């Protein structure tokens, strides 16, 4: 992405959240190979260092910085720390996520908010809003903000049909403050798998609202992608051990939706860096049954995720919860 290099000397800089494993790690590796400097925004610094080394990233191609997306204070501190490096920001990848399918009671952020929604959505919502300023200030002509989506956000797709399905309701839980006893966006009973899916719908609503509010005035490209079913990432570490064995096999041999971590990482890097993906407001997919040679296409998102009124309400209530005025 030559046009993004400044004065021919400084590399373009990308921040990738959750770059210590899975899709984020391989996206970091692929971006470093394309000549980017990758700020690996991670909660466990030694783990991130080992991960970077394990995939052969050269020391000058990355910087590891602390962020805990499950804590709003930590997100704010990260932004300050990033600014102190003096780097300009050319791209931001919101990738980190937790999936806790087996817990019976909600975990909580320091603010008291349910932790899956906080980590996957609210933390990233705050980060996007704060770092919009940094993206605006970058002298590069091509700046991008990419948020990871997933097929399970969308009950219209085969991969999204398995219950429980996401349902943000009218954000009654957000409106009521999202603290105990409330744990779900719609204020209803805690369901950990649904909390994950709800958070991923919020991710896509955030991307679409960012596009609607800021694309024209800033020229920044906002997009999301479903990189394929990366069934052997540690995302499923909190599932039954038997599920962790069967799921990759099932995706490889039955649905054909399986993609490797390397390929998923390459897809993220392409959406961040390649000219063909400079399309704001798009949700990109390679389909759920396509193999390596599969081509990407812009896919329609779920009815909830394409509901502009829902997007606005998500925005206003999330802004309140994260303390943005
Ligand atoms: P993963 O291997 O579990 O990676 C998740 C990353 O997020 C890890 O680096 C993890 O850090 C980090 N993280 C978790 N909580 C954090 C926190 N509070 N603060 C900072 N970082 C935190 O999962 P993955 O499969 O690569 O998933 C990455 C993204 O791809 C997610 O957004 C997911 O929804 C999306 N996605 C995955 C699939 C799939 O099939 N796997 C499919 C579609 C979309 P630690 O290393 O410290 O745990």
| Cβ of 96 less than 6 Å from ligand 1 | yes
Residue 239: what pLDDT?
Answer: 82
Give nearest CA residue, ligand 1 atom 23.
235
Q: If we measure between CA atoms, which residue out of 322, 324, 297 comes closest to residue 111?
A: 322
Tell me: the pLDDT tens digits for 58-86?
A: 999 999 999 999 999 999 999 999 999 99
**pLDDT value at residue 157:** 81
DSSP, residue by residue, 277-310:
G--TTEEEE--SS--TTPPPEE----TTTT-HHH
Ligand 1, residue 96: give the atom nearest the CA.
7
Q: Is 97's C-beta closer than 6 angstroms to any atom of ligand 1?
A: yes
Mean pLDDT of the 200-226 span: 98
Task: For ligand 1, atom 10, name the residue with the nearest CA.
Answer: 18
**Residue in the structure block whose two tokens are 């296409």:** 297
Q: Angle, to 10 degrees, between the axis of helix 308-322 and the axis of helix 123-137? A: 90
**Distance in Å, CA 44 to ligand 1 centroid:** 13
**The ligand 1 atom nearest the CA atom of 25:** 9
Q: Distance (Å, rounded) from C-alpha 258 to C-alpha 263?
A: 10
Task: Determine whether the shortest distance from the Cβ of 44 to ligand 1 is under 6 A.
Answer: yes
pLDDT in tens, 169-181: 999 999 999 999 9
The reply to whether ligand 1 has any atom less than 6 angstroms from the CB of 148 is: yes
pLDDT score recorded for residue 8: 47
Which DSSP symbol is given to 239? S
Measure the CA–CA gap between 248 and 259, rounded to whole angstroms.
Answer: 9
Indicate the DSSP class of residue 21: S
Q: Percentage of residues in the chain with pLDDT exceeding 90?
A: 79
Please indicate whether residue 109, judged by its CB atom, sits closer than 6 Å to ligand 1.
Answer: no
Phi, psi of 122 (to 5 degrees): -60, -40
Mean pLDDT of 131-151: 96
| Ligand 1 atom nearest to 68, measured from its CA | 19
Q: Could you report the per-residue pLDDT of 11-43, keeping only the tens digit for each?
A: 999 999 999 999 999 999 999 999 999 999 999
Q: Check residue 228 and give its pLDDT.
A: 87
- Please report which confidence band the pLDDT of residue 242 belongs to, taking 50, 70 and 90 as the band edges: confident
From the CA of 227, how far away is ligand 1's center (Å)? 13
Q: Are 131 and 138 in contact (CB under 8 A)?
A: no
pLDDT for the residue numbered 234: 78
| Ligand 1: centre distance to CA 94 (Å) | 10
State the pLDDT at residue 79.
98
Q: Which atom of ligand 1 is nearest to the CA of 149?
A: 44
Give me the pLDDT at residue 171, please: 98
CA-nearest of 21, 53, 17, 44 to 234 is 21
pLDDT (mean) for 125-129: 98
Which residue puts its alpha carbon closest to atom 33 of ligand 1?
97
Mean pLDDT within 141-154: 93
- Does position 289 have pLDDT exceeding 70, yes or no? no
**Ligand 1 atom nearest to 261, measured from its CA:** 26
- Minimum CA distance residue for ligand 1 atom 3: 235
Mean of pLDDT over the chain: 92
* The pLDDT value given to residue 288: 61
């Amino acid at each position: 992405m030559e046009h993004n290099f400044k004065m021919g000397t400084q590399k373009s800089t990308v921040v990738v959240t959750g770059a210590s494993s899975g899709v984020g790690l391989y996206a970091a590796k692929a971006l470093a190979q394309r000549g980017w400097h990758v700020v690996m925004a991670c909660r466990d610094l030694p783990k991130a260092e080992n991960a970077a080394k394990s995939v052969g990233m050269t020391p000058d191609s990355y910087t590891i910085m602390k962020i805990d997306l499950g804590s709003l204070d930590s997100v704010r501190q990260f932004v300050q720390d990033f600014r102190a490096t003096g780097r300009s920001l050319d791209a931001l990848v919101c990738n980190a996520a937790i999936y806790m399918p087996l817990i019976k009671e909600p975990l909580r952020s320091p603010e008291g908010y349910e932790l899956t929604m906080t980590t996957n959505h609210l933390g990233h919502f705050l980060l996007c809003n704060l770092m919009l300023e940094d993206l605006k200030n970058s002298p590069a002509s091509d700046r991008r903000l990419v948020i990871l989506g997933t097929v399970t956000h969308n009950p219209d797709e085969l991969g999204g049909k398995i219950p429980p399905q996401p349902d943000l309701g009218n954000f009654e839980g957000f409106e009521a403050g999202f603290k105990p006893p409330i744990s779900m966006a719609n204020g209803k009973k805690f369901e950990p798998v649904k909390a994950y899916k709800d958070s991923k719908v919020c991710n896509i609503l955030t991307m679409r609202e960012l596009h609607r509010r800021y694309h024209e005035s800033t020229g920044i490209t906002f997009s999301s992608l479903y990189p394929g079913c990366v069934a052997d990432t540690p995302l499923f570490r909190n599932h039954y051990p038997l599920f962790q064995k069967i799921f990759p096999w099932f995706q490889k041999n039955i649905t054909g939706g399986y993609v490797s971590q390397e390929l998923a990482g390459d897809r993220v890097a392409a959406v961040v860096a390649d000219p063909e993906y400079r399309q704001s407001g798009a949700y990109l997919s390679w389909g759920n049954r396509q193999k390596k040679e599969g081509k990407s296409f812009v896919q329609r998102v779920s009815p909830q995720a394409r509901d502009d009124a829902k997007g606005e309400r998500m925005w206003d209530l999330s802004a309140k919860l994260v303390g943005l005025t």
